[in-house]
Amino acid sequence: MADMDKTLTMLKDLTDAKGIPGNEGEVRKVMKEYITPYADEITTDGLGSLIARKTGQENGPKILLTGHLDEVGFMVTQIDEKGFLRFQPVGGWWSQVMLAQRVTVVTKKGDVTGVIGSKPPHILSPEARKKPVEIKEMFIDIGASSREEAQDWGVRPGDMVVPYFEFTVMNNEKMLLAKAWDNRIGCAIVIDVLKQLHGTDHPNIVYGVGAVQEEVGLRGSRTSTFKIKPDIGFALDVGIAGDTPGVTEREALGKMGKGPQVVIYDASMVAHKGLRDFVTDVADEHNIPYQYESIPGGGTDAGSIHVSDGGVPALAITIATRYIHSHAAMLHRDDYENTVKLIVEVIKKLDRQAVDKIIFE
């Protein structure tokens, strides 16, 4: 693999970090480390969302950028007498991407390696081979011989279980494979936007947020929005890539490498029309490629941002990503860089007059 540049090192640090909803501490620490040099102040909300403020103009409008810290994973619910772990998915999983996958159980005594157990084909009936195993039938094998041994290793109900996967730059070096792109890529965009605004004039106050608990109901973005009371909100997240075999354009339009996705509709929000038009106008002006996306199922942090406090014009901007909500997802570095570029240009133009026009027209 080529020597990792600073951006790749940051992306690796963010995706390697382990953090499911309610257990985001490790990810928050990584994001805080990277964003602190570009922020005037770092705070948190009561649930643990990270809030980095960067003031361009003291009395300018407040612009919120949110990426979420949490990734989909599992929680240990019980340990049986033989030392196998029963678990609860935390966030949305499809049973077919889970069997025989390696996981890490994070305990107070340290990390314990496990694998989601599966039966060999030799003992399955022809009917059973065709039928997906239900998640509630699955278990995690950590190699313990008894409940007591598992407990001695520090395993307790409530411990988080995180997919294990190694960050990889592929043969096409623009293609990046990792766990937890959903949504460490959003956190990375927030960091990079603040970095690019560092030392420049912008007519507003930017709040870069690493929100907690998005995957279980967009929770941290709600609490952080109430705390910040922004004028405008952006959610930065992964979107669906519809460019693999078997996915039709009717199901998903997004293509990797074709620019940020402007989400016009999803299950959590109808995009704010004025803000959407403002963003696409800026993209057109700067020749930044973009694509439209609508997602009938699923939502982003913009879903809770826009109905928080007195209501906030909001927009989700996403990166087309393959294989999300599994152990390994893939995205295109150009999309990441174009999204950062777009958000920076948008922020430079969001003065009080532009914000009032978006809200009132």
List, for residues 112-171, the tens digit of each pLDDT value.
999 999 988 898 899 988 999 999 999 999 999 999 999 999 999 999 999 999 999 999
Give the integer Cα–Cα distance in Å for 125 and 267.
39
Strands (E), 39-101: 41-44, 50-55, 62-68, 73-79, 85-90
The domain limits of the chain are 6-71+179-360, 73-163
pLDDT attached to residue 3: 57
Give the integer Cα–Cα distance in Å for 260 and 345.
14
pLDDT at 308 over 90: yes
User: Which of 216, 155, 188 is CA-nearest to residue 321?
Assistant: 188
pLDDT attached to residue 105: 98
**What is the CATH number that goes with domain 6-71+179-360?**
3.40.630.10
pLDDT attached to residue 315: 98
pLDDT at 1 over 90: no
Q: Render pLDDT for 272-298 as a digit per residue (tens, 0 to 9).
A: 999 999 999 999 999 999 999 998 888
Cβ neighbours around 26 below 10 Å, total: 16
Q: Render pLDDT for 262-279 as a digit per residue (tens, 0 to 9).
A: 999 999 999 999 999 999
Give the integer Cα–Cα distance in Å for 37 and 10.
14
Q: Does domain 73-163 have CATH number 2.40.30.40?
A: yes
Active site residues: 214
**211, containing H or E segment:** strand 205-211
Q: Which residues contact 313 (CB under 8 A, 6 or more apart)?
A: 231, 232, 233, 272, 274, 275, 306, 358, 359
pLDDT attached to residue 2: 47
pTM over 0.75: yes
Residue by residue, DSSP assigns 282-328 as HHHHTT---EEEEESS---THHHHTTSTT---EEEEEEEEBT-SSS-
pLDDT at 205 over 90: yes
- The number of CA neighbours under 13 Å toward the Cβ of 268 is 24
- What percent of the chain stands above pLDDT 90? 92
Beta bridge partners of 262: 292, 317
